[in-house]
Amino acid sequence: MLLFNPHNDQHQHNDERSRELVEKTIAFFEKKGLKQIKADDQEMVWYEDFLDFIKTEQIFATLLTPSGYGAADSRWDMWRIGHFNEVLAFYGLCYWYAWQVSILGLGPIWMGDNEALKHHTAELLEQGGVFAFGLSEKDHGADLYSTEVMLHPQADGSYLARGSKYYIGNGNCAALVSTFGKMADTGEYVFFVVKTDHPNYECVKKIDTSGVRQAYVAEYCLHDYPITEDDILSVGPLAWDSSLNTVNIGKFELGFAALGIATHCFYEALNHAAKRNLYGQLVTDFPHVRKTFCEAYARLNAAKLFAMRAGDYLRSASDDDRRYLLFNPIVKMKVTSQGEQVVNLLHEIIAAKGYEQDTYFEMAIRDIGMLPKLEGTEHVNMALNVKFIRNYFFDPVDYPEIPRRDDIANDSYLFQQFTGGLAKIRFPDYRRAYTGFESENISIFREQVELFRKLLIQAPPNQEQMNNIDYMLAAGELFTLIVYAQLILENSRIYQLDEALLEQIFDFLIRDYANFALQMVLNHSNLPEQEEIFRAMLKKPAQNQEHFKQLWALIIALEDCYEMSE
């Protein structure tokens, strides 16, 4: 089974230390129990116990220190980092948030050229430190061009930092806050670090949010904060690249957090429904409930297949193979939104139960919707995806097959990425992914894909349509779903996915694709030949009752396979 289960973690851990850290983390939360987790959430208790735990067990130090800077078993390994995202969010997004913003804060440090500060950071991680990423500002959000934080040069060669940052996780206690700004005299971009316990650092306030209540989302202000060359991480193009490339990593993390939340909700909903008797029968005996569970299960597994496969490409990235720059934004926008959709489907089943304060579900409802809105909105990431359409369909190049990347390796390329050059990124022929798959629903979906290609050849968007951002974003949904299906197919072969589950996955992919095509017809002005092709995309999945029965048998067998301790 692909889904995470704390009682039977089947993740392929690539060494004993990795497994040990996950098992200890599971034990920490199971001992704490759902009742206390919910009480802390409702009272917005700062999670000092969790921070003490990661310090004692050296968890952040082991998982977030690249090879060569920390202990022998420390490395930056996206296989185990991805899984740890899922584990933390499974128990509470606030705990994941402390981890996520530490990853973001560490990005500019490991990407910078200040070696002394890298070694000092490794020491701070060993001391249990968490980190923060000072990028966004109250009036400008993440608009890097408009950043107002400035380093003002002084006669002795030092600088004074002035300005404020907004919506910064761990801004109350981070050992170091990686802060993005500009040189006041030259306008060059710069990344530098500040300490939260410095007298010139003001933690202005905690920004209370409906989700991640226990986390500390801060506004901070620098009042002539003294900066020397020892505090500067990068200047100029390297600082700019560090900001964007750190977000590239952060996007990947969001998808696995959504998977963790949705998986816990799935267990809780199934356990509840399978024991609830209405009108003389179990809730799970109602046909519409079974259908909804099957849809939720298929969407959840599909999202995980895509996210894990995207991780293979991320770990295999190089200057010559940057396909991850298409796949990562889809993890961010598609996997997170699918996680939200899974929770909504399950909520339809358990209804009012999901609002009860003693359930995990109540917390998940508040938290899951945050993920599609972090590290760039879905629209921002869709606009990025559209740039890849031409090369994806019409300029294929051969690459060696990417295997499952669960090997022990330090993913050092992530700290050497460069930005730009998206038009030069190439892909193999997307049709290779369909080789060996001849089921009815996969064939129907492939027909929809080829219609999109036909559209691009025979009736591509005209200049007016290309200048219409709403039109291009809507068309981008069709393209995104094509890429989504490709990686799902690739990983279904690697993990030898059950045929009934794969068919259910392509059942919803066909329906989603038809829905996006319908929106193109209903909401946008199309040329007659474009509308004809969009209408041809409105296909219906094949129904196979035997596959449905097989899938339901897999799902109902999961009843009571996991229930969190009180």
Tokens matching residue 245: 């490339």
Tokens matching residue 44: 């917005």
> Is the same domain home to 123 and 136?
no
**Which residue type is seen at 490?**
E
Instruction: With respect to residue 6, please indicate whether it lies within any of the assigned structural domains.
Output: no
Domain count, the chain: 3
> Is the same domain home to 445 and 300?
yes
pLDDT value of residue 378: 56
> Is the same domain home to 350 and 386?
yes
Instruction: With respect to residue 68, please indicate whether it lies within any of the assigned structural domains.
Output: yes
Instruction: With respect to residue 533, please indicate whether it lies within any of the assigned structural domains.
Output: yes
Q: At what angle do helices 78-91 and 287-315 cross, to 10 degrees?
A: 150
Instruction: With respect to residue 411, please indicate whether it lies within any of the assigned structural domains.
Output: no
Tokens matching residue 450: 């080829």
DSSP string, 319-359: TTB-THHHHHHHIIIIIHHHHHHHHHHHHHHHGGGGG-TTS
Instruction: With respect to residue 111, please indicate whether it lies within any of the assigned structural domains.
Output: yes
pLDDT value of residue 480: 95
> Is the same domain home to 79 and 42?
yes
The neighbouring-strand residues paired with 190 are: 181, 235
Q: Please say whether the beta carbons of 60 and 99 come within 8 A.
A: yes
Q: What gap in Å lies between CA 84 and CA 257, rounded to an integer?
A: 9
Q: What gap in Å lies between CA 534 and CA 455, rounded to an integer?
A: 8
* End position of a domain, from candidates 114, 130, 146: 130
> Is the same domain home to 378 and 253?
yes
Tokens matching residue 329: 């934004």
Decide: helix, strand or coil at residue 94.
helix
All residues at 6 or more sequence positions from 438 whose CB lies less than 8 Å from its CB, including other chains? none
* CATH for 209: 2.40.110.10
**Would you tell me how many other CB atoms lie within 10 Å of the CB of residue 244?**
13
> Is the same domain home to 49 and 80?
yes
Instruction: With respect to residue 11, please indicate whether it lies within any of the assigned structural domains.
Output: no
pLDDT value of residue 36: 97
* End position of a domain, from candidates 96, 130, 164: 130
For residue 542, the 8-state DSSP code is P
> Is the same domain home to 505 and 371?
yes
* CATH for 44: 1.10.540
Q: Please say whether the beta carbons of 164 and 176 come within 8 A.
A: no
* End position of a domain, from candidates 130, 162, 189: 130
pLDDT value of residue 372: 86
Q: Please say whether the beta carbons of 51 and 94 come within 8 A.
A: no
All residues at 6 or more sequence positions from 250 whose CB lies less than 8 Å from its CB, including other chains? 100, 103, 104, 107, 374, 375
> Is the same domain home to 445 and 334?
yes
> Is the same domain home to 90 and 118?
yes
> Is the same domain home to 34 and 183?
no
Q: What gap in Å lies between CA 380 and CA 473, rounded to an integer?
A: 9
> Which residue range(s) make up the domain with 97?
16-130
> Is the same domain home to 177 and 276?
no
pLDDT value of residue 338: 97
> Is the same domain home to 138 and 172?
yes
Q: What gap in Å lies between CA 99 and CA 180, rounded to an integer?
A: 20
Instruction: With respect to residue 285, please indicate whether it lies within any of the assigned structural domains.
Output: yes
Is beta strand 232-235 parallel, antiparallel or unpaired with respect to 150-153? unpaired
Block mean pLDDT (10 aa), the chain, length 566: 92 91 97 96 95 98 97 96 97 96 97 97 98 94 90 98 97 98 97 98 94 94 98 97 92 94 98 91 94 98 98 96 94 95 97 94 94 68 80 94 96 91 92 94 98 96 91 92 98 95 97 97 96 98 95 96 92
Is beta strand 189-194 parallel, antiparallel or unpaired with respect to 232-235? antiparallel
Its pTM stands at 0.96
Q: Please say whether the beta carbons of 300 and 222 come within 8 A.
A: no
* CATH for 509: 1.20.140.10
DSSP string, 505-540: HHHHHHHHHHHHHHHHHHHS---HHHHHHHHHT---
Q: What gap in Å lies between CA 474 and CA 121, rounded to an integer?
A: 43
Instruction: With respect to residue 412, please indicate whether it lies within any of the assigned structural domains.
Output: no
For residue 424, the 8-state DSSP code is G
